[in-house]
């Protein structure tokens, strides 16, 4: 699976580079390149491409959302919520609004604002019930506020929805999720992974 994903990203990079070579001032080409860089976890480079996308098209909701996420991954946690709020204002009925809502929840979770995290993750889950990651985040948040019954249900649902074993253990999840720089990884360990342990996820 990892090899196939790598091949897909390499192909996407080739296509995005061709588009940029032909139309360097086209917002879509810049956005495509930013998406590839984000998938490659080259967050600093992706930030520049998202910023260029926004300069060319100030109404691109997803560019703001992903820009905020990339800044978050490089350590600027306080920039995550405003970027998602901007995306929501631009596209309040967006098919992927659950992503914007979940990212707001993530900022609250990592800052130990647990009641706020629960509320935003519930909104994300309700917007996109079939998204396993929103369920896993909510499971962790519920566990951290000692709502264990709901935490167990959300974690079980995440496991049922996902197409692999990532929610089988903390070790499996760490292998497939990236939390950026050391500062953000430490906050994720103290909140997200701690909550998942409390919800019943084993270490190995």
25: which DSSP letter? T
Say whether both 142 and 53 belong to one domain: no
CATH code for position 141: 1.25.40.10
Listed residue (99, 91, 106, 181) closest to 137, CA to CA? 106
Say whether both 51 and 135 belong to one domain: no
Asked whether 176 and 182 are in contact (CB, 8 A), the reply is: no
Say whether both 35 and 136 belong to one domain: no
E-strand ranges in 26-139 read: none
**Per-residue b or e along 30-40, where b marks 16 or more CB atoms closer than 10 Å to that residue's CB:** bbbbbbbbbee
Say whether both 134 and 176 belong to one domain: yes
Q: How remote is the C-alpha of 151 from its chain's centroid?
A: 20
Does some domain include residue 84?
A: no
Domain membership of residue 102 as a residue range: 95-204
Q: How remote is the C-alpha of 33 from its chain's centroid?
A: 18
Distance CA 172, CA 47 (A): 28
What's the pLDDT tens digit per position in 174-196?
999 999 999 999 999 999 999 99
Distance CA 103, CA 80 (A): 7
Does some domain include residue 83?
A: no
Asked whether 161 and 194 are in contact (CB, 8 A), the reply is: no
Q: Is the pLDDT of residue 46 over 80?
A: yes
Give 33-41 contacts, CB < 8 A, sequence gap 24+: 34/63, 34/66, 35/66, 36/9, 36/12, 38/66, 38/69, 38/70, 39/9, 39/12, 40/9, 40/13, 41/73, 41/178
Say whether both 4 and 64 belong to one domain: yes
Say whether both 188 and 145 belong to one domain: yes
Total tally of structural domains belonging to the chain? 2
What's the pLDDT tens digit per position in 100-158?
999 999 999 999 999 999 999 999 999 999 999 999 999 999 999 999 999 999 999 99
Name the residue with higher pLDDT: 14 or 133.
133
Overall pTM > 0.85: yes
Per-residue pLDDT, 193: 98
Say whether both 131 and 172 belong to one domain: yes
């Amino acid at each position: 699976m990892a090899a196939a994903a790598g091949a897909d990203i390499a192909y996407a990079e080739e296509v995005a580079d061709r588009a940029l070579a032909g139309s360097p001032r086209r917002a879509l080409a810049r956005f495509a390149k930013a998406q590839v860089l984000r998938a490659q976890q080259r967050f600093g480079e992706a930030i520049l491409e998202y910023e260029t996308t926004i300069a060319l098209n100030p109404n691109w909701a997803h560019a703001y959302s992903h820009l905020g996420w990339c800044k978050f991954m490089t350590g600027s946690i306080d920039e995550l919520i405003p970027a998602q709020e901007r995306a929501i204002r631009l596209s309040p009925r967006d098919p992927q609004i659950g992503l914007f809502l979940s990212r707001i929840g993530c900022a609250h979770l990592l800052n130990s604002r647990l009641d706020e995290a629960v509320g935003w993750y519930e909104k994300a889950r309700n917007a996109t019930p079939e998204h396993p990651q929103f369920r896993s985040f909510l499971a962790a948040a519920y566990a951290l506020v000692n709502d264990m019954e709901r935490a167990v249900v959300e974690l079980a649902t995440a496991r049922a929805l996902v197409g692999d074993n990532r929610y089988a253990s903390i070790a499996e999840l760490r292998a497939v999720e990236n939390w950026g720089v050391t500062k953000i990884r430490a906050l994720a360990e103290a909140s997200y992974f701690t909550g998942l342990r409390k919800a019943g996820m084993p270490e190995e």
